[in-house]
Chain A
Amino acid sequence: MRIRVCHLYPDVLNLYGDRGNLLVFHRRAQWRGIELDVDQFLLGDRGDFSSYDFIFMGGGADSRRTLLLKNLEIIAPYIVDAVEKGTVLLAIGLGFQLLGRYIKTEDGDVMVGAGVFDAYTEMDSSRSVGDILLEATADLQEELKKAGNMDITTLIGFENHSGRTYLGEQGKALGRVIKGKGNNGKDRTEGAYYKNAFGTFLHGPVLAKNPHFADLLLVKALSPQEEISLEPLDDSLEILAHNTMKKRLIR
């Protein structure tokens, strides 16, 4: 078995240990005998995404937003197309904001995003920084339990983002905030998902802190349509780390 991975803009989107997500994804595949091919897609690169099973975008500095959007504009239709066909996608922080419908700057300028998620961001001086704990959205809970074989439905991370992101009418949140700020600090939503595409503000890296989420992405990347099950791993360390933080956060 083989999974083809596209790492989108690792030259710019590489903050807060986000590249660790691919390491976690890679190892968890490898431990089950699944091979991974990773292509780096850099600024200025062109091409379509139809041959990939998993597209990953990390977080980055806000000052790179304009540069990124200029590049993203060209490839956005291909990303949308891939997501429509069931390709798995994970976008963190700025990556997530760029894949929304638009970003409105503090000066009131509207910058058009890739439109993968029905979400939009309004920049202001607010910044959300700290540990965050979510309860995954109901639809996802069952999938998470099954994929990870761990009976965990919470997600943990460290958020560090500016501005406020809101979901549109069609937008579904990744989870409900138990502790922390989430998308906008108001409606307790965090992240977004659409088909097999996930956006979130959780750093940590999110897949290291949430092995069940990593396995869910792995399952979907292997088989976007039907459910399959993965060989269980010894996740005692990962689960201990997850539960230690969870306990601290709900105390």
Chain B
Amino acid sequence: MNKNSINKGFRFWLAFYAGRFSVFLCRLFRLSGTSLPGAVALRICPQLLFYLASAYEKIIAVTGTNGKTTTTNLITYYLRQAGVPVIGNGEGANMITGVVTALIKDCNFFGAAQSRTVVLEVDEGSVGKILPAVKPDLIVVTNYFRDQLDRYSELDHIITLLRNTIDGLPETELLLNADDPLVVAVGRGRPAVRYYGVEVEKDCKEPEKNEIREGGFCPECGELLVYNYYHYGQLGDYRCTKCSFKRPEADFVALDVDDSDLLHFTLHVQNKNSSIDLHSQLRGFYNVYNILAASAAALIISIPEQSIEASLPDYSTATGRLEQFIYHGRLCTLALIKNPIGVNEVMKTILPQEGKKAFLIAINDLAGDGKDVSWLWDADFEKLNHPMISKVVCSGRRAAEMAVRLKYAGLATSKIVLEPGCRESLDVLGLQQVDQYYILASYTSLFNYAKLLRKMGKAVAKDADQGLPSLS
């Protein structure tokens, strides 16, 4: 899709240099500057993204509710390891301003792009603005769960938005999660769709009783869906009881998943009938989907199987994705939490770990977190009512509401400590005589805890070269 011949005009250059100058100013004043330069430039030239994106040979976009950052970062990492010059908005700004900022930064002083390929994480509410402008070659959709309903109102709106957006992009190829009926609904009737999915030997995995579940209804006819098994949330092997809608056959299949500790599974590529053995430093069943999606995307854009197999073991996690620190001489795991399914999966991953535990849960309600914190009641915090958990420190702007949630989850009030301050709550956590610390933090508080932990403790195996401390 190289459209270098496009005449960019005066407005483009004015916007471009205004953006460049803003990047310079942000650096000068030590602001993070992942969105502001783009916002400035877009004011001057609203079509800027279209022009900037036209310089690249290949554009991959990742959207969905959970797993966008890990999937985006891993695709970027695979490309880089394979020697492909690649740029992305891995700094966590996944709205149009962040995408534009990332692309401005990739240009040299004369406005020429330095990379050939772009991997973009796209906020699910921003797909209507970003995708038509960049015209991706490939769109990866991870999953749809309830998240930030203060911004998106209802999940249906978000799915309809993507569906309507891709109607205007007939040439774009889709890579969809076969296990999520809500995602599969996005690709209905399109020619170039490929699917990835996890297959299990056991034919019946009972759904978790307390788990909140989306969908459940057929996107074709509205009838109830029935499941052979569930992985988590509404992900699983489903079919409609009335029409022919069912989980599509996956082109990229995860088999023999071992999620007891560091992840390990086999990726089977159906059309080639080949298999790759994947070992990762990541934990948590939900990361199987992220690795699977990223590996499938890399294969689609012709990254060799051997390169994927060889580079995955060295990929480590981004900020707050079960990132590990040593704090007060103990292992301290930091995890971003932002929606019920995300919390449930994080808890499922860490709770089986051995030893006595103390938790810190930081809940803010700023725009980046979601202003409505009612989602805390859709998450299965009942799991923290556990004899090996001795204390839970609640902090953030909604510390008291988090404490109330835990009280009703059945935790003794003697186990709940209320300490809204960031530094102070970390001090209280450090007093707990346990084997491991866990910090679950909403988006806007995550950075503060990561920063403090680096200062007061030390990071374990920090991601050295991918350098993509992204957040949403």
Residues of B within 8 A of A24 (CB): 408
Given the complex of chains A and B, what is the CA–CA distance between A18 and B222 in angstroms? 23
Which listed residue, A19, A67, A130, A203, touches B222 by the CB 8 Å rule?
A67
B372-A16 in contact (CB<8A): yes
Chain A nearest CB, measured from B162 CB (Å)? 16
Residues of A within 8 A of B376 (CB): 17
Interface size on A, residues (CB 8 A): 34
Asked whether A154 is an interface residue with its Cβ less than 8 Å from the other chain, the reply is: no
Asked whether A63 is an interface residue with its Cβ less than 8 Å from the other chain, the reply is: yes
List residues 206-246 of chain A with CB under 8 A from any CB of chain B. 208-209, 234, 237-238, 240-241, 244-245
A238-B154 in contact (CB<8A): no
Asked whether A129 is an interface residue with its Cβ less than 8 Å from the other chain, the reply is: yes
Asked whether A15 is an interface residue with its Cβ less than 8 Å from the other chain, the reply is: yes
List residues 131-171 of chain A with CB under 8 A from any CB of chain B. 131, 158, 160, 162
List residues 46-71 of chain A with CB under 8 A from any CB of chain B. 61-63, 67
B156-A20 in contact (CB<8A): no
Asked, given contacts A19-B378, A208-B408, whether A160 binds B153 with beta carbons under 8 Å apart, the answer is yes
Residues of B within 8 A of A129 (CB): 150, 153, 371-372
Residues of A within 8 A of B375 (CB): 16-17
Given the complex of chains A and B, what is the CA–CA distance between A241 and B402 in angstroms? 9
Given the complex of chains A and B, what is the CA–CA distance between A24 and B377 in angstroms? 10
Chain A nearest CB, measured from B233 CB (Å)? 13
Asked whether A104 is an interface residue with its Cβ less than 8 Å from the other chain, the reply is: no
Asked whether B413 is an interface residue with its Cβ less than 8 Å from the other chain, the reply is: yes
Asked whether B326 is an interface residue with its Cβ less than 8 Å from the other chain, the reply is: no
Asked, given contacts A237-B400, A237-B403, whether A23 binds B377 with beta carbons under 8 Å apart, the answer is yes
For A20, A203, A245, the residue with the greatest tally of chain B CB atoms inside 10 Å of its CB is A20
Closest to B407 in A: A237
Asked whether B405 is an interface residue with its Cβ less than 8 Å from the other chain, the reply is: yes
Residues of B within 8 A of A244 (CB): 400
Closest to B151 in A: A129
Asked whether B404 is an interface residue with its Cβ less than 8 Å from the other chain, the reply is: yes
Asked, given contacts A67-B222, A130-B371, A237-B407, whether A16 binds B212 with beta carbons under 8 Å apart, the answer is no
Given the complex of chains A and B, what is the CA–CA distance between A228 and B216 in angstroms? 42
A16-B374 in contact (CB<8A): yes
| Complex A-B, nearest 7 residue pairs according to Cβ-Cβ distance, in ascending order | A20-B377, A17-B377, A17-B374, A241-B400, A61-B154, A158-B372, A16-B374
Task: Give the B-binding residues of A (Cβ under 8 A).
Answer: 11, 14-20, 23-24, 27, 61-63, 67, 127, 129-131, 158, 160, 162, 203-205, 208-209, 234, 237-238, 240-241, 244-245
- 15 A-B contact pairs sorted by A residue (CB < 8 Å): A15-B146, A16-B372, A16-B375, A24-B408, A61-B154, A129-B153, A129-B371, A158-B371, A158-B374, A205-B377, A234-B413, A237-B403, A237-B407, A240-B400, A245-B401
